[in-house]
Structure 1
Amino acid sequence: MSEASAPHAADRRELTAAQRNAVAELLRVSPVADELGRRFVRAGHELHLVGGSVRDALLGRLGDDLDFCTDAHPDETLRILKGWAESIWETGREFGTIGAQRDGLRLEVTTFRAESYDQVSRNPVVVYGTSLDEDLKRRDFTINAMAVSLPEHRFTDPHGGLDDLSAKVIRTPSTPGESFGDDPLRMLRAARFAAQLRFAVHPDVHRAMTEMAADLDRITAERIRDEFTKLLCGADPITGLRLLVDTGLAERFLPELTGLKLEIDEHAQHKDVYEHTLTVVSNAVSHEDDGCDFVLRMAALLHDVGKPATKAVGSDGRVSFHHHEVVGARLTKARMKAMRYPKEITAKVTALVALHLRFYGYGRGEWTDSAVRRYVADAGDLLPRLHKLTRSDCTTRNRRKAAQLAADYDALEDRIARIAAEEDLARVRPDLDGNAIMELLGVPPGPVVGRAWKHLKELRLEHGPLDRDAAEVELLRWARAEGLVD
């Protein structure tokens, strides 16, 4: 570190503490890492712990996934690993990466790289580099451009990553324009690291993200999806989401989020629906039981995306968004499909968006037991998440109103529990199965059985469970009305 870039005295104490943490973390894995380093040295090659592994070690949170770089090419790396690693995989071989497992640690060893984009294609062109310095310079951010050489534990930090780690700032090794020009996904990664680490982006990085946002169009939907998922699952997703909107990046792949910024909330409790949405996401995070619940967070983010299309101003000046949950569910499904999310994840998020308003009105005493059964049946396995989303959506600053909404939802959950205990509400189904329907009506498998089953389920939802005799009477009554029996 040059004298000009040396930190203040107070920072030296902080960095020394950070380095002590790093040493402790590295010692935890060093028997494996050092042993691997010695194998590479004996084979005439270098091995360095790099990237997120060094960053996380300095933060005192090194995990069990370790990243290394080397001058050895993949074939040579394979020869070094064989007979030592417990298992080996080559799924990243085209990018110069060989994976291995040893003593519970997942190791990825990548040949020095000097990859770049041709400014047109969507995928990087991988060119092997020749030195550690060249490899570190091509990395996305300075906090990921540090290395620990093995087995001697020599620390290399040519771009001031340690200073930036202490200052909690995200900066690029080369100019932001060069870095983002090589890989535009790095702009989204900057927002992701801001969310994960609670760091701020350097003003030059923020400026480049704004000026080059359109370059994100060169990146495949799958790569954008994966980075966005990590961002939303970060410790502070709100910071990351604000960066996406403020820089214009959200407009490139999630324009519905930016669109919310223009819509005024009907209760005037926030300056716009965008701010309300960010509050709901923050609330949803606080309601999680253990780790990130992506489905819940995504539903919180998209629950009001139908408002811009349904905005109406009444004669009294009040703003309304009638049926925005229906429109929002349709928009959610389309957007998540465009982002290449799996169908099952998309279906869950879409269902939560469609259901998020169902609760309102319960406090007016309008719900029968039938309505409660339908609420549970429509939510299905999503009911626990729907509970959390509905509670997260209560962002009113009126304390009395907030307390009343919370009490109403407490009452609904208590009512659900009571009815569930009486009726096995978690598995609402007809009182006669398909075999019983076919036997009683004398019909073969086919559409008639499906229609009869649906009719009996509606009765079950409306009136609760029926005994066998009563269910058979109702089925025959329906069959006669349908002209199926005399």
Structure 2
Amino acid sequence: MVEKPTITPVVAELAARFAAEGKRLYLVGGSVRDAVLVRPTNDFDFTTDARPAEIQKLLSGWADAQWDTGIAFGTVGASKKGEIIEITTFRADVYDGVTRNPEVTFGDSIDGDLVRRDFTVNAMAFDIAASQFVDPTGGLQAAREGVLDTPATPQESFGDDPLRMLRAARFVSQLGFTAAPRVVEAMRSMAGELARITPERVQVELSKLLCGAHPRRGIELMVETGLADVVLPELTAMKLEIDEHHQHKDVFDHSLVVLEQAIDLEEVDQSPDLVLRIAALLHDIGKPATRKFESGGGVSFHHHEVVGAKMVRKRLRALRYSKEITEDVAKLVYLHLRFHGYGNGEWTDSAVRRYVTDAGDLLTRLHKLVRADCTTRNKRKASLLRRTYDSLEERIARIEAEEDLARVRPDLDGNEIMKLLGLAPGREVGAAWKFLKELRLDRGPLDRDEAEAALLDWAREQGITPPAR
């Protein structure tokens, strides 16, 4: 028994309104697919044989509001009792083969509209008035079998829009499906076509892939077919490396395990953490560039976290990620090895303060990344690493409770510094502030007399003569 989409009273009322005028209204796209797969969805799109002007007329007097921002593509939007509705006239688009942009053409049949869609599981419709599925390309069977295939040949579909190849990897991640052999082969032979797509569109699909339920499967498909060579060539490079611990996994496989373990540490009731997931996948991105074969057969990757942070910035900027996401991921990559200097707890309180201060608001994510980075099969070693990190977190909690580490600032503010040293605003004040900040990290909170004495000593060393007190 196939699960039918849930039709709200508003949608049923709208379909009846269309039927009264001799027009059909179909639910299409992700909401139909997700109903079949019994997955939650909030994506409700409709298609109809009515032309845009007719849609507007049918909505007038019924909808609480309507808008026509997508009318050039045949889409009219409306709201009714808090529900958002987008209705698009049947499409029969033709791609020009050069810009990869479709020439918008309206169609006359639901079947014609569906066969132009990307994958068969997305090429199903639900006739609301008749309460039945329309499935001209076998989407229901593909959904039952967990197979991702195209309505037309993959070559035709991907030739129309190469981004569909990356969407294939995205749906493998989101749905847990397996791409049909002919789809994989077409992706492999046409991967270079993806270079025609703007970085912004690529980034959107990649982010959705990484936030899917099965990102490892999507990433592996990207690497297998060569899409990664276009989108994230660093992934393929990692596949060629062994890691410094002589584990059975290569760096690529290790990174996928870290990604999966980081996902396991995400909060159950929150959305997927894109920053954490990118950082987990790319935390060892710098290893290929820093690999060194040591005498005796060992392999080292010294300073790969430093090189990796730079590589992350370059790649994420190229993919048009926001500055905030780019810098957050780069910082996590840069800091992910810091913990390994902790040993058995040899860090001073000063080192703990610096760890917390350097991580800033990324501390919780850094905790998760460091824990996820433990992929050893040696149970004793894994247990020791967990206990050691537990002890670090306990120390952080203790010092935070005592010193309010989240707001570590110098014991004197800028105005007090200028008054004490007789300075006007400028670089010298900034240098003094930085000195006091470092002193605060090293020694913890100081009382006012201690802070002033230390600042005066520093000022004299810098050749600054404070005014007589």
Give the shorter-chain TM-score range: over 0.9
Please say if 1:218 is aligned against 2:196. yes
Identify the residue that residue 416 of structure 1 maps to in structure 2: 396
- In 2, the alpha carbon distance for the partners of 1:234 and 1:296 equals 13
User: Counterpart of 2:202 in structure 1: which amino acid?
Assistant: I
Residue 13 of structure 2 is aligned with which of 35, 45, 48?
35
In the alignment, structure 2 segments of 5+ residues that lack a partner are none
Identify the residue that residue 72 of structure 2 maps to in structure 1: 94
Please say if 1:161 is aligned against 2:161. no
Conserved? CA contact 1:116–1:183, under 8 Å: no
Aligned residues: 464
Identify the residue that residue 143 of structure 1 maps to in structure 2: 121
Question: Offset at 1:209?
Answer: 0.8
- Give the alignment's TM-score, normalised by structure 2: 0.96
Please say if 1:232 is aligned against 2:210. yes
Conserved? CA contact 1:333–1:347, under 8 Å: yes
Residue 257 of structure 2 is aligned with which of 268, 279, 289?
279
Q: Partner of 1:88: helix, strand, or coil? A: strand
Q: Partner of 1:159: helix, strand, or coil? A: coil
CA distance 1:33–1:440, change in 2 (3 Å): same
Identify the residue that residue 49 of structure 1 maps to in structure 2: 27
Conserved? CA contact 2:345–2:391, under 8 Å: no
Identify the residue that residue 262 of structure 1 maps to in structure 2: 240
CA distance 1:83–1:469, change in 2 (3 Å): farther
- In 1, the alpha carbon distance for the partners of 2:64 and 2:237 equals 51
User: Counterpart of 1:226 in structure 2: which amino acid?
Assistant: V
Conserved? CA contact 2:194–2:227, under 8 Å: yes
User: Counterpart of 1:351 in structure 2: which amino acid?
Assistant: K
User: Counterpart of 2:169 in structure 1: which amino acid?
Assistant: A
CA distance 1:481–1:229, change in 2 (3 Å): same
- In 2, the alpha carbon distance for the partners of 1:248 and 1:471 equals 59
Identify the residue that residue 266 of structure 2 maps to in structure 1: 288
- In 2, the alpha carbon distance for the partners of 1:318 and 1:105 equals 62
User: Counterpart of 2:256 in structure 1: which amino acid?
Assistant: L
Matches within 5 A, 1:61-210: 61-210=39-188
Q: CA RMSD in A?
A: 1.5
CA distance 1:460–1:122, change in 2 (3 Å): farther
Instruction: Identify the range of structure 1 (54-63 vs 168-177) with the bigger mean alpha-carbon deviation.
Output: 54-63
- In 1, the alpha carbon distance for the partners of 2:234 and 2:178 equals 25
Cα deviation, 1:303-340, whole Å, max 9, x if unaligned, reads 00000000001112100000000000000000000000
Question: Offset at 1:99?
Answer: 2.5
Residue 405 of structure 2 is aligned with which of 425, 428, 434?
425
Question: Offset at 1:122?
Answer: 4.3
In the alignment, structure 1 segments of 5+ residues that lack a partner are 1-15
CA distance 1:472–1:89, change in 2 (3 Å): farther
User: Counterpart of 1:97 in structure 2: which amino acid?
Assistant: T
Identify the residue that residue 316 of structure 1 maps to in structure 2: 296
Cα deviation, 1:137-182, whole Å, max 9, x if unaligned, reads 1011111111112322232111111111111111111111111111
Identify the residue that residue 11 of structure 1 maps to in structure 2: none
- In 2, the alpha carbon distance for the partners of 1:361 and 1:211 equals 46
Instruction: Identify the range of structure 1 (241-250 vs 99-108) with the bigger mean alpha-carbon deviation.
Output: 99-108
Conserved? CA contact 1:430–1:456, under 8 Å: yes
- In 2, the alpha carbon distance for the partners of 1:37 and 1:106 equals 15
Identify the residue that residue 304 of structure 1 maps to in structure 2: 284
- Aligned-residue sequence identity (percent) comes to 61
Residue 60 of structure 1 is aligned with which of 38, 58, 63?
38
Q: Partner of 2:434: helix, strand, or coil? A: helix
Question: Offset at 1:448?
Answer: 1.8
- Give the alignment's TM-score, normalised by structure 1: 0.92
Identify the residue that residue 6 of structure 1 maps to in structure 2: none
Residue 371 of structure 2 is aligned with which of 391, 396, 412?
391
Cα deviation, 1:117-148, whole Å, max 9, x if unaligned, reads 32221433322222211100101111111111
Q: Partner of 1:270: helix, strand, or coil? A: coil
Question: Offset at 1:428?
Answer: 1.1
User: Counterpart of 2:290 in structure 1: which amino acid?
Assistant: T
Instruction: Identify the range of structure 1 (96-105 vs 336-345) with the bigger mean alpha-carbon deviation.
Output: 96-105
Please say if 1:458 is aligned against 2:438. yes
Q: Partner of 2:44: helix, strand, or coil? A: strand
- In 2, the alpha carbon distance for the partners of 1:161 and 1:430 equals 63
Please say if 1:474 is aligned against 2:462. no
Identify the residue that residue 8 of structure 1 maps to in structure 2: none
Q: Partner of 1:363: helix, strand, or coil? A: coil
- In 1, the alpha carbon distance for the partners of 2:215 and 2:361 equals 26
CA distance 1:484–1:80, change in 2 (3 Å): farther
- In 1, the alpha carbon distance for the partners of 2:136 and 2:93 equals 19
Question: Offset at 1:241?
Answer: 0.5
- In 2, the alpha carbon distance for the partners of 1:92 and 1:413 equals 51
Identify the residue that residue 358 of structure 1 maps to in structure 2: 338
Question: Offset at 1:438?
Answer: 1.7
- In 2, the alpha carbon distance for the partners of 1:360 and 1:275 equals 21
CA distance 1:436–1:94, change in 2 (3 Å): farther
- In 1, the alpha carbon distance for the partners of 2:321 and 2:332 equals 16
- In 2, the alpha carbon distance for the partners of 1:446 and 1:97 equals 57
- In 2, the alpha carbon distance for the partners of 1:258 and 1:75 equals 50
- In 1, the alpha carbon distance for the partners of 2:79 and 2:42 equals 10
